Amino acid sequence: NAGVTQTPKFQVLKTGQSMTLQCAQDMNHEYMSWYRQDPGMGLRLIHYSVGAGITDQGEVPNGYNVSRSTTEDFPLRLLSAAPSQTSVYFCASSKMTGGYSPLHFGNGTRLTVT
């Protein structure tokens, strides 16, 4: 019963480095999303996808890219890391959008950019 799997769990980057946060789900969910969680700011939506081949921007997309080549995978790419991207990143999936079905979250990636 894997659900949503995120890797890595922890990562330290230097300013300017790039990396990809991996997210995979085994529930055949069409909707997937990436959030960042910062103290005092709550969860903010970065990018989302309503199905394979379809992605769109959320509230805070700058500095991040996504792609959705399969239903299962939704990687998040940091192109040139900045200290402002230090955060905890959560991937989530659900059967549908709109808030009627549960969002299933991974356990997060804690990213530090120095």
Binding letters toward another protein, positions 39-78, x by CB under 8 A: -xxxxxx--x-x-----x-xx-------------------
Does residue 8 bind another protein (CB under 8 A)? no
Q: Which residue, 17 or 75, is less far from another protein as judged by CB?
A: 75
Burial class (CB in 10 A: 0-12, 13-18, 19+), 92: buried
Q: Which of 2, 11, 3 is nearest to 89 (CA)?
A: 11
DSSP 64-81: EEE--SSSSB--EEESS-
> What does the alpha-carbon distance between residue 86 and residue 101 come to, in Å, rounded to a whole number?
30
Amino acid identity of 58?
A: G
Q: Which residue, 55 or 71, is less far from another protein as judged by CB?
A: 55
Does residue 97 bind another protein (CB under 8 A)? yes
Look up residue 54 and give its two tokens.
């379809």
Q: Which residue, 11 or 17, is less far from another protein as judged by CB?
A: 11
Least distance (Å) from another protein to the CB of residue 57?
A: 8
Q: Which of 88, 91, 97 is nearest to 76 (CA)?
A: 91
Does residue 103 bind another protein (CB under 8 A)? yes
Q: Which residues bind another protein (CB under 8 A)?
A: 4, 31, 33, 35, 40-45, 48, 50, 56, 58-59, 90, 92, 97-103, 105-108
